[in-house]
Amino acid sequence: MEADFVIVGAGSAGCVLANRLSADPQTRVVLLEAGGRDTNPWIHIPVGYFKTMHNPALDWCYKTEPDPGLNGRSIDWPRGKVLGGSSSLNGLLYVRGQPEDYDRWAQMGNAGWAWDDVLPLFRRAENNERGADAFHGAEGPLSVSDMRIKRAICDAWVEAAQAAGYPFNPDYNGATQEGVGYFQLTTRNGRRCSSAVAYLNPVKKRPNLQIITRAMVTRVTLDGKRATGVRYLDASGTEVTLKARREVILSGGAINSPQILMLSGIGTPEHLQANGITPEHALPGVGQNLQDHLQARLVFKCNEPTLNDEVRSLVNQARIALRYAVSRSGPMTMAASLATGFLKTRPDLATPDIQFHVQPWSADSPGEGVHPFSAFTMSVCQLRPESRGYLELKGPDPRQPVRIVPRYLSTPTDCRTIVEGVRIARTIARHTPLAGKISEEFRPTSALEMEDDKGTLDWARNNSVSIYHPTGTCKMGEGEGAVVDSQLRVHGLTGLRVADCAIMPEIVSGNTNAPAIMIGEKASDLILGP
């Protein structure tokens, strides 16, 4: 079998590439996805992440290695194993990051990736229900909508944050990110708008586009220093060779793209040899530079009902389901969070360094059900962690997950920032009108108020979890540690690119789905040329 372009991974960026590269009917494109089709109905209901996350049929269900920065804990790293990738499982939050993020990428030697370069790509991708302006598009494939649900506890949080001195911001993806407000979502008419829904569904019947699911790529095939195609295991377990006349594009995400490179003999020779892989091309940066957003999740019990109470009763669940079926509204349209804030831990900072996700419910994790009491969650994460981790193979079997070593909270700045983020969260909770709705601090306990920063940091190490934004493991740039150049071409090889969040030299200041889609748009321009 043969194609002009072979795209590995039908996630946030891969679906964009399949759409854009197959627009020319003379170009044959094959899109390979290790997971299945997105037919599970919970994928398309916004609140369905409670059902899809941690479901091994749809989620790779990765876990990190025990991490010293988390006092030896191993934590979950969900990743989508289905058409749409993680955009079919995520919390639906539409966040681009800060202009300064992309300007830093350009300053690191990545020409064409500054904010002025990528803003048109964000606008091209976007169909924002608020309409087009200097920052937003209204004609793109990706639907972006306002919340269809409001809850008093989240409104109270936004008011309390303003009372604490933080400005209201109606558009954190607009002129400035700083302030508090409400999330916009990747939804369309009350349903999830994943990358597969936005980019793949409208073109999946093109005769020059073939979508193959249950196809686990085992390696990129090389002829000297040129990528010639891939090998993959089909649904029956048979190995198939697929040739690429022009290019192979890895869009497997920050875990799977470097894993495929290493399985192909591309990486640190000593590491490859130790795992039974014959080195083909030395590139020590593969799997390095791993970054993620770590969240400290504070939970406050309330003296009035929250969503926890609404969803516990079977009768209420039936009412909620009926409302959604009739009007595509109500709690089933809810994203992972309603309210947000991008704030500074110190006034001398140029831009916000922490982000809040505020939820009118509380749970130990999505998929485990809500707590049996009235409560809400205030999650805070550091936007630009200095800590860097890495990935390693566990052997030559492509079905064996890699070792994920995040090295969270391994720098003084990261430790200081999460401590200050927890302090700011607890300060907001003491302001009106939120304070009047809180009956008790559940996590952490109010006793923490008596402790020093060391106690707060220890609580964070024992309780923080990933917010599921792995990036950076195929770093874009030049020099030591770089894996791809500014054209996303793998250094030292031809016919091979990486296009997903793995290429980020530094993690963006916010959720990563919108940037991943932008990377797909950018990659298509780079491949197709002017």
Q: Which residue numbers are catalytic?
A: 469
- Angle of helix 115-125 versus helix 513-528 axis, rounded to 10: 100
The secondary structure of the chain in percent helix, strand, coil, rounded to multiples of 5, reads 30, 25, 45
Q: How far apart are CA 84 and CA 196, in angstroms?
A: 4
Rounded CA-CA distance 510/381 in Å is 9
Q: Are 275 and 33 in contact (CB under 8 A)?
A: no
Short-list 385, 425, 154, CA closest to 298: 425
**Residue 274: CB atoms within 10 Å:** 12
**Bridge partners of residue 261, in order along the sequence:** none
CA distance 98 to 498: 23
Q: Note the residue count of the chain.
A: 530
CA distance linking residue 443 with residue 295, whole number of Å: 13
How far CA 518 is from CA of 39, 293, 310, 358, in Å, comes to 25, 19, 37, 26
What does the DSSP assignment read for 464-498? -EE-S--B-TT-BSSSTT--B-TT-BBTT-BSEEE
Residues 6+ apart with CB under 8 A from 44: 38, 191, 192, 197
Looking at 22-94, list the stretches that DSSP marks H as alpha helix, in order from N- to C-terminal side.
Answer: 41-44, 49-52
Of 501, 518, 519, 516, which is closest to residue 125 (Cα–Cα)?
Answer: 518
Q: How far apart are CA 126 and CA 134, in angstroms?
A: 12
Cα distance between residue 11 and residue 87, in whole Å: 7
